[in-house]
Amino acid sequence: MNIALILAAGSGTRMGNADKPKQFLPIYGKPLMIHTIEAFEINDDVDKIVIVTNEQYIDQVKVWCKQYDLSKVRGVVAGGNSRQISVYNGLKAVEELVSSPDDIIVIHDAARPLISQKIINDNIAVCKKFGAVDTVIKASDTIIRSKDNEIISDIPNRNELYQGQTPQTFKFKIIKDAHEKALKEDIPNVTDDAKLVLSFGIDVHLVEGSAQNFKITTFDDLMMLKALLKIGKTEVVL
Amino acid sequence: MFNNIFKVTSPGVIEKFIDTVEDMDNKVLVKVDTMAICKADIRYFLGNRDINVLNHKYPLAPIHEAVGEVVKDPTGTYKKGDKVILVPNSFDDKFYSDNSNRRCHRKDLGDNYYPKAVFRSSTADGFLRNYYTCSPDLLVKYDESIAPSIAVFSELLSVATAALRRINFDEVEKLALFGDGIMAYIVYIMLRFDHPDLDLTVFGIDDHKLEAFRDAKTAKFEEYKGEKFDTLIEAVGGKFSADAINNMIDLSIPGADLILMGVNEEKSPINTRLVLEKGLSLKGVTRSTKQDFEHVAKALNDKKVQEALSIMVLSENKINNVGDIYRCFEADINNKKEIGKNLMHW
Q: Hey, is the C-beta of B23 within 8 angstroms of any chain A C-beta?
A: yes
For residue B124, how many C-alpha atoms fall within 13 Å in the half-sphere facing its CB? 15
Quick one: B137 and B272 in the same domain? no
Q: Which residues of A touch B346 (CB under 8 A)?
A: 117
Q: In chain A, what is the straight-line distance between the N-terminal and C-terminal CA atoms, in Å?
A: 47
Q: Does residue B301 fall inside a structural domain?
A: no
Nearest CB neighbour to A39, from listed B1, B58, B123: B1
| Residue B143 shares a structural domain with residue B25 | yes
**Model confidence pLDDT, tens digit, residues B180-223:** 999 999 999 999 999 999 999 999 999 999 999 999 999 999 99
Shared-domain flag, residues B11 and B140: yes
pLDDT in tens, B240-273: 999 999 999 999 999 999 999 998 888 899 999 9
Question: Would B289 be classed as within a structural domain?
Answer: no
pLDDT of residue A238: 31
Output B30 or B91, whichever has higher pLDDT.
B30
Q: Which of B242, B266, B284 is the last residue before a domain boundary? A: B284
Question: At residue B333, what is the residue type?
Answer: I
Instruction: Yes or no: say if B78 and B28 are a contact pair by the CB < 8 Å rule.
Output: yes
Chain A touched by B32 (CB under 8 Å): no
Based on the fold, state whether residues B204 and B277 are members of the same structural domain: yes
CB of B72 within 8 Å of any CB in chain A?
A: yes
Query: Chain A closest CA to B100's CA: distance in Å?
Result: 15
pLDDT class of B113 with cuts at 50, 70, 90: confident
Residues B55 and B92 occupy one common structural domain: yes
Measured between CB atoms, which of A113, A117, A235 is closest to B125?
Answer: A235
pLDDT of res. A235: 41
Amino acid at B70: V
Between chains, do A42 and B125 touch, taking CB under 8 Å as contact? no
Least confident interval from B59-68, B76-85, B95-104, B308-317: B95-104
Who among B1, B118, B320 is closest to A237 (CB)?
B118
Instruction: Give the domain CATH number at B258.
Output: 3.40.50.720
Task: Name residue B240's amino acid.
Answer: F
Mutating which of A34, A35, A42 best tests the B interface, going by the most B Cβ atoms within 10 A? A42
Q: Tell me which residue range forms the domain holding B215.
A: 158-284
Identify all chain A residues contacting B319, using CB atoms and an 8 Å cutoff. Answer: none
Exposure string (b/e) for B234-246, b if CB count within 10 Å is 16 or more? bbbbeebbbebbb
Chain A residue closest in CA terms to B62: A236
Q: Mutate which of B1, B25, B123 to test chain A, going by most A C-beta atoms within 10 A? A: B1
Tell me: do B11 and B106 sit in the same domain: yes
Determine the pLDDT at residue A227: 83
Total count of domains within chain B:
2
Confidence (pLDDT) at B56: 86
Asked if A145 contacts A157 with a C-beta cutoff of 8 angstroms, the reply is: no
Q: Read off the DSSP letter of residue B226.
A: S
Asked which of B241, B267, B284 is the last residue of a domain, the reply is B284
> Is a pLDDT exceeding 50 seen at residue B304?
yes
pLDDT of residue B189: 98
Give dist(CA B175, CA B198) in Å, integer: 8
Query: What's the pLDDT at B184?
Result: 98
Do B147 and B25 share a structural domain?
A: yes
Q: Which residue in chain A is spatially nearest to B55 when comparing CA positions?
A: A236
Judgement on whether residues B142 and B172 belong to the same structural domain of the protein = no
Distance CA(B221)–CA(B178), nearest Å, equals 9
- Single-letter code of the amino acid located at A65: C
How high is the ipTM of this complex? 0.71
How far, in Å, CA of B150 to CA of B163, rounded?
A: 21
Name residue B248's amino acid. M
Cα gap B1→B22, rounded to integer Å: 8
B325 inside domain: yes
**Residue B165 and residue B29 share a domain:** no
Q: Which residue of A has its CA nearest to B18?
A: A232
Does B320 sit within 8 Å of A35, measured CB to CB? Answer: no
The reported pLDDT for the residue numbered B51 is 83
Q: Which of B231, B266, B284 is the last residue of a domain?
A: B284
Q: Which of A68, A114, A237 sits opposite B123 (nearest CB)?
A: A237
Q: Would B294 be classed as within a structural domain? A: no
Q: Is residue B249 part of a domain?
A: yes
Of A114, A118, A232, the CB nearest to B5: A232
Q: Give the pLDDT confidence of A71-118 residue by residue, as tens digits.
A: 999 999 999 989 999 999 999 999 999 999 999 999 999 999 999 999
User: Residue B19 and residue A117: Cβ atoms within 8 Å?
Assistant: no
In the predicted model, what is the mean pLDDT of chain B?
A: 93
Q: Do B17 and A232 touch (CB under 8 A)?
A: yes
Are B109 and B197 in a shared domain? no
B31 interaction partners in chain A (CB closer than 8 Å): 42
Which of B18, B57, B346 is nearest residue A114 as measured by Cβ atoms?
Answer: B18
Q: Looking at residue A154, what DSSP letter applies?
A: B
Q: How far is A237 from chain B (nearest CA, A)?
A: 5
What is the per-residue pLDDT for A233?
47
Report the CATH fold assignment for A2-136+164-232. Spore Coat Polysaccharide Biosynthesis Protein SpsA; Chain A (3.90.550)
**Which residues of chain A fall short of a pLDDT of 70?**
12-19, 230-238
Q: Which B residues, 111 through 150, put their C-beta within 8 Å of a C-beta on chain A?
A: 118, 123-125, 130-131
B122, B287 contact by CB (below 8 A): no
In this structure, what CATH number is given to the domain that contains residue B30?
3.90.180.10
- Examine the pLDDT at B111 and tell me if it is beyond 90: no
Best mutation target among A42, A66, A230, A236 (most B Cβ atoms within 10 Å) is A236
Rounded to whole angstroms, how far apart are CA atoms B277 and B337? 38
Q: Is B36 helix (H, G, I), strand (E, B) or coil?
A: strand
Regarding whether B196 and B145 lie in a shared domain, the answer is no
* Same structural domain, B9 and B142: yes
Model pLDDT, residue B24: 64
Tens digits of residue pLDDT in B140-189: 999 999 999 999 999 999 999 999 999 999 999 999 999 999 999 999 99
How far is residue A203 CA from its own chain's centroid?
20
Residue B249: closest CA among B239, B260, B238: B260
Distance CA B315, CA B337 (A): 14
Give CA–CA dist A161/A169, Å, rounded. 20
